[in-house]
Structure 1
Amino acid sequence: MTQKITIIGGGPGGYTAAFEAAKGGAEVTLIEAAQMGGTCLNWGCIPTKTFKSSAEALETVHRLKEFGLSGECSAAADMPAVVARKDKVAGTLRGGLEKTCSKLKVNLMYGKAKVVSANLVRVHTSEGEEQEITGDKVIIATGSRNLNLPSLPVDHKKIISSDDALELDHVPERLLVVGGGVIGSELACIFQSFGSKVTIVEGLDRILPLPSIDREISKLMQRELKKRKISCEVCRTAVKAEYTDSGVAVTLGPSPFLDQVPAAAEKEKVVEADAVLVSVGRVPNTEGLGLAEAGVETDAKGWIIADEYCRTSQPGIYAIGDVLGPSKVMLAHAAVMEGLVAARNCLGRNEVMTYDVMPSAVFTSPEVASVGMTEEQAAEQGWNVRCVQSQFRELGKAQAMGEISGVFKLVVDADSGKLLGAHLAGAHVSDIIAEPTLALRLGAAGKDIARTIHAHPTLAEGLFEAAHML
């Protein structure tokens, strides 16, 4: 008998689950509240990367003399054109997803869904109708949205979210970014390239204060931001905001998240900006889903609780992606794998989702990428830690490209040589991280990388050089 699977949310996790289930012979209904592709395609990964491509092209133009090219060039960011290109790229990809739905006979619906049980989902369609979708299993993949701060209420004009930043029709002369995590740091680099004078405020003691990012990489990134004349106010938080004739005046105070703050951060400071970008975290998209009534357990903050099989507390209902919250991994590629696991388990498989070898990439300037344990995490877990580093500037390809800032850091067990983690910063490291990710997946040692021939001249040789130090 054909399984009927209802999937709520058309982001990377949701559409991957839909395609996998359909390929497995299921009758699939995919319900999306806004636009196919979810946050990743429409307001996150893809739009920010198109912005970054424009920023990098502009930076290259401004560096023409470094590459022996003469002539005058007055290139500047044409924001309506940049936004239009972003929309075109997203539209092309959305169209591809919709065509795949049609090809695989996935029933794609647009509307707001409410879970009644594993066998019934009610949909308020975009046309204003109510439909009941019956089936055997449900996969929830509704994702997350921006968290708002009471001290900085977003007005979508002067105080903006990351979504708003991707629709700006001008480059703010002075931009204050509240939150030095992934999204805040990426947009800070992009708008600095476009011409903004940027200040980042971060409540913790470093830029990119994620457990997966090695502290040495954070220090390097902060130095690079300083070179770009981006001011970093760490150990501080935004206390209040006041509108002025020219923009917004934001008062910064010492961070309440730290036991001790440096003396420089103890006194209040006022930063004036033409726009304030708030990027301090995410909250789950679970409102109106009917989770409590359906018996789906959530934590105190509303994130859905699921086990390693992506099963929720209610039999027949699965959950994947950002809606699982920070207790899992809130990354698009994590959602994709969770989507595969959930779809296969709906069809009778018994697959487990693992998170121990999960790469991450931050598209700042330079890029940052990591996988596995940091030096600190490895030491805490009792490994006899040894770390080696090679520098980007030592690579012929990096010198030829004019991209010499960066580092390759490998974390290994000194006793066995087993690779425990890799932490990279520099041009194109978001691509290079695939190699140490595979090495970790296969349980390789540092010597295995050292004995692998790497093409020359390439940036990936930096891993080869670091491994040889072992």
Structure 2
Amino acid sequence: MTKQLVIIGGGPGGYVAALKGAALGARVTLIEKENLGGTCLNWGCIPSKIMKNSADLLLKCLEADKMGIQIEGHVSADMTALMARKDKILEDQRKGIEGLMEANGISVLFGKGKIAGPGKVSVTDAAGEETIVDYDKLIIATGTKPLNVLDFPFDHTRVVSSNDILCLDRIPASMTIVGGGVIGCEFAFIFSALGCQVTVVEAMSRLLPLPSVDESCSKLLMREMKKRKIKVFCDTVVTKAEAGDAGVSVSLSVSPFTDNPKPKKLKTDTLESEIMAVCIGRTPLSEDLGLENIGLQTERGWIPANEFMETAADNVYAIGDILGPAKIMLAHVASHEGLVAAENALSDTGTKAVMAYNAVPGAIFTMPEVGTVGLSEEGAKAAGFEVETASVNFRVLGKAQAIG
């Protein structure tokens, strides 16, 4: 008998799970409330890399004389053209995923998916019409959205989210970025290269305060930001933001979250900029998902799953960013989790596929870029290993000097 596999969420976890499910002979329904491709394609990895590529090219043009190339005339970024190129690429990629779904016999329903009870999901489309879909196995891959602080006056013009920043129609003269994690640091370098005066405010004692990133990388990025005249305030939080016609006024305070026992006294307690971008992380999309209808509880909104991607509810699996920071929130991780979940949901071999997180590669697209794999030095020490470290300055290598 053919199994019915239903997947809520059409991101890199969900649509890969759908393809795997179809390959295993299931009748697959993929439910997506917005656009296929998820955060990675629509609001994250891809659009930010499109912008970074343009920023890199602009920097190369401005510094071309150092490479023996003379460029006459004024070189600058055209944000309208940049955004048009971005939108065209995203649309082409979405169509590509839609084509993959059609070619593999996967039914795609656009609308809001909600678990109606064991074995049933309701889908409400944009017109308000409801469809009930039965499932034998369910995979939840709803992902996340930008974490917004309600005290900030979000108007999506002066005070913007990490989604909004990908749709700006101009390059602001100045920008305050709240959050010095992956998203904040990537945007800081991109907009600085495009000609914006950038200030980064980070609550912890260093940039990229992640377990996977060695402190030496954070220090290097701090030096690079200073070279590019990007101002950085670590051990600092934004306590208030006021938006007006001229821009945003930001109030600063010493961070109560810092791990620095002796944070430096602030040189200023206010910042003025044309816009403020809030890049303080992501929050789970698990509200109004109907989890209570199958007795599935969350942990602060995140859905727990084991190494087989099984949740506490029978026949229900969870993959991708909805698992939260307890796992690894990367697109390629979500895709592999999707393969594991589909395999375990549909296979009758008696052997379960296992998701391993011990050697996951990651990349942070700052300038320069940061790459990670496996444990950091601190993580290895915490795990009880005797650690030896070695470092090589990339700048001394012939290849590095050749490419500038």
TM > 0.5 fold call: yes
1:261: Cα distance to partner?
Answer: 5.5
- Trace 1:61-460 onto structure 2 (pairs within 5 A): 61-258=61-258, 260=260, 262=262, 264-266=264-266, 269-299=269-299, 301-348=300-347, 350-402=352-404
Q: Give the Cα–Cα distance (whole angstroms) in 1 for the partners of residues 229 and 46 of structure 2.
A: 26
Contact preservation (8 Å) 1:12, 1:336 = yes
Identity level (%): 47
- Which amino acid in structure 2 is aligned with residue 91 of structure 1? E
Q: Secondary structure, in 3 states, of the residue corresponding to 1:388?
A: coil
What is the RMSD of the two structures over their aligned residues, measured on CA atoms? 1.3
CA contact (8 A) 2:248 2:276 kept: yes
Preserved CA contact (<8 Å) 1:199 1:230: yes
- Contact residue 239 and residue 253 of structure 1 kept, 8 A: yes
Which ranges of 4 or more aligned residues in structure 1 deviate by more than 6 Å? none
Equivalent residue number for residue 438 of structure 1: none
Q: Structure 1 length as normaliser, TM-score?
A: 0.83
Map Cα deviations across residues 25-47 of structure 1 (whole Å, 9 max, x no partner). 11000000000001110010000
Which residue in 2 is equivalent to 1:430? none
Tell me, yes or no, if the aligned pair for 2:118 and 2:293 is still in contact at 8 Å. no
Partners of 2:127 and 2:365 lie apart in 1 by 38
2:177–2:188 CA contact under 8 A, matched in 1: yes
Contact 1:235/1:262, CA 8 A, preserved across alignment:
no
Whole-angstrom distance in 2 between the partners of 1:243 and 1:338: 42
Tell me the distance in 1 between the aligned counterparts of 2:259 and 2:127: 53
Maintained 8 Å contact 1:179/1:201:
yes
Tell whether the 8 Å contact from 1:118 to 1:317 is kept in structure 2 after alignment.
no
Q: Which amino acid aligns with 1:117?
A: G
Alpha-carbon separation, structure 1, partners of 2:179 and 2:28:
39
Larger CA deviation: 376-385 vs 211-220 = 376-385
Cα deviation for residue 153 of structure 1 reads 3.3
The answer as to whether partners of 1:235 and 1:265 remain within 8 angstroms in 2 is no
- TM-score (ref. length: structure 2): 0.97
- The answer to whether the Cα contact below 8 Å between 1:152 and 1:278 also exists between their aligned partners in 2 is no
- What letter corresponds to residue 191 of structure 2 in structure 1? F
Report the Cα distance in structure 1 between the residues aligned to 2:283 and 2:57, rounded to whole angstroms: 34
Are the structure 2 counterparts of residues 150 and 265 from structure 1 closer, same or farther at C-alpha, using a change threshold of 3 Å?
farther
Aligned-pair distance for 1:269?
1.1
Contact 1:58 1:76 in 2 (8 A): yes
Structure 2: gaps spanning 5 or more residues: none
Paired with 1:76 and 1:383, the residues of 2 have a C-alpha distance of 50
Is the 8 Å Cα contact of residues 51 and 82 (structure 2) preserved in structure 1?
Answer: yes
What SS does the aligned partner of 2:252 have? strand
332-341 vs 372-381, greater mean Cα deviation? 372-381
Q: Match of 1:217, as an amino acid?
A: C
* C-alpha displacement of 1:374: 1.4
Q: Structure 1 counterpart of 2:386, which letter?
A: N
Output the CA distance in 1 between the equivalents of 2:186 and 2:26: 39
Q: Output the amino acid matched with 2:337.
A: E
Alignment partners' CA distance in 2, 1:374 and 1:395:
24
Where structure 1 has 5 or more consecutive residues not aligned to the other structure, the ranges are: 403-470
Deviation track 1:278-319 (CA, whole Å, cap 9, x = no partner) reads 0101111112211112211211x1111111111111100111
Counterpart secondary structure, 2:13: helix
Assess if the C-alpha contact under 8 Å between 2:205 and 2:260 holds in 1.
no
Size of the aligned set, in residue pairs, is 401
Q: For each residue in 1:69-113, what CA deviation from the matched residue of structure 2 results, as whole angstroms up to 9, or x when unmatched?
A: 123131211111111111111111111100000100000110001
